[in-house]
Amino acid sequence: MPELPEVEAARRAVEEHCSGKRIKKAVVADDPKVIDGVSSSEFEAALLGKQIVGVHRKGKNMWLLLDSPPFPSFQFGMTGAVYIKGVAVTKYKRSAVKETDEWPSKYSKVFIELDDGLELSFTDKRRFARVRLLTDPTSVPPISELGPDALLEPMTVDELAEALSKKKIAIKKLLLDQAGIHPLETASKLPKEKCATLHKCIQEVIEWAVQVDAESSLFPLNWLFHYRWGKKPGKANGRRIDFITAGGRTTAYVPALQKLSGGAGALRADDKQRRQTSKRKKGSDEVDGSASEEEEAKESVKVKKQQNPRASGRKSSAKKKPDVSNDGSDDPENDESDEDEERKKVSKTVKKKEASERTSKKKSEATGTTKKHTKRAK
């Protein structure tokens, strides 16, 4: 999902290209799941004629400061993204809209045309983003409930150590890091020197990512980011990458660099997590081929039905209601990654297919046996 650097890159792009200009046209999607607490018509009316005087961000929330309230606020969620026509803006890969796609995108939630003709759009493929119209975005949730911004209000080493000392959960669940700390390390047990290392790495990673506008190809080659989801088992700078589950997420780490303290009990827990994750990944790899065939078959049937509506036994409708789902999921957002969700869906589909094949095979065998008995009787 988009992280702080991606949202900061979007903020900077909007500030550079849109500040000082007036909103000539606004089109807000009729999608109450994303457009929170206000109708699309009210939202549009609140934007028309207003001048953009600034663009602000805290955490993964961005809002436009207009010449008078209320102000549009964007919580990016899992696939929120900002597009400015003709301007390159870094986007999270899963939310990317191709240049060849229609403009504005069918996934657009807020489209704005400025007085000089420049156009921008906030899109959200999976509809986990939230767009609000607020008088003071910083005084109400979710922004009012956020801690210090890691870029704008960095904590000191002592403040970080104090905060971690109160958290008796795995550090990965609390904080995803690049600091050579084992993902299952208990946050409250981190010694001061490791807190200092974590603090230093947080600042370095965020500052570097923001400096290159979150363009991942420009991240340092020694970052685990480049190797963790490649060929498995993989290596990072010659060292083995292992996979475990931490905080409900598949987690890559380098055992040679990220060692778990806490004695034999902690090491056994680490080994158990690694074996369980390995089994799950092996199962996912085994079903990939069958899943692809199943998806292709479904797509083929779908295309045939679209080409010949009567084949489905239903009359085609002349009018079609607008689809606000935008290919998104209505399931509530949870802690699992997109990859884990996709694997579950694939596994479920393949199991159904295998069960159907077994049933067909049994029916076929039963039919063959019946025919043999009939011939003998004759």
pLDDT at position 11 is: 96
pLDDT at position 35 is: 98
pLDDT tens, position by position, for the chain (378 residues)? Answer: 678 999 999 999 999 999 999 999 999 999 999 999 999 999 999 999 999 999 999 999 999 999 999 999 999 998 899 999 988 776 555 555 666 788 999 999 999 999 999 999 999 999 999 999 999 999 999 999 998 998 999 999 999 999 889 888 888 777 644 477 888 888 888 888 889 988 888 888 888 888 888 787 788 887 877 777 666 667 777 788 888 888 777 888 888 888 887 644 454 555 555 555 555 555 544 433 333 334 444 444 443 444 444 444 444 444 433 344 444 444 434 434 444 554 455 455 545 656 666 676 666 666 655 555 555 555
pLDDT at position 254 is: 85
User: How many CA atoms within 13 Å lie on the side-chain side of 353?
Assistant: 17
Report the C-alpha gap between 376 and 298 in whole angstroms: 42
Q: Is 328 exposed, middle or buried (0-12, 13-18, 19+ CB in 10 A)?
A: buried
Residue in 42, 24, 47, 29 with CA at minimum distance from that of residue 119: 24
pLDDT at position 328 is: 44
Q: Catalytic residue among 3, 119, 215, 294, which?
A: 3
pLDDT at position 322 is: 39
Q: Catalytic residue among 58, 60, 91, 172, which?
A: 60
Residue in 200, 173, 197, 201 with CA at minimum distance from that of residue 187: 173
- pTM, to two decimals: 0.61
Angle of helix 192-211 relative to helix 4-18, nearest 10 degrees?
30
Q: How many Cβ atoms from other residues are within 10 Å of residue 52's Cβ?
A: 24
What domains, with CATH codes, occur in the chain?
Answer: 4-134 (3.20.190.10), 157-279 (1.10.8.50)
Query: Does 315 qualify as catalytic in the annotation?
Result: no
pLDDT at position 185 is: 86
pLDDT at position 98 is: 67
pLDDT at position 189 is: 86
Report the C-alpha gap between 65 and 74 in whole angstroms: 12
Backbone angles phi, psi at 10, to 5 degrees: -65, -45
pLDDT at position 235 is: 79
Report the C-alpha gap between 64 and 6 in whole angstroms: 16
- Cα angle 14, 20, 22 (rounded to 5 degrees) comes to 90
For residue 189, give the H/E element and its range. none
Query: Does 60 qualify as catalytic in the annotation?
Result: yes
Query: Does 2 qualify as catalytic in the annotation?
Result: yes
**What token pair was written down for 145?**
């409930």
User: How many CA atoms within 13 Å lie on the side-chain side of 369?
Assistant: 6
pLDDT at position 180 is: 73
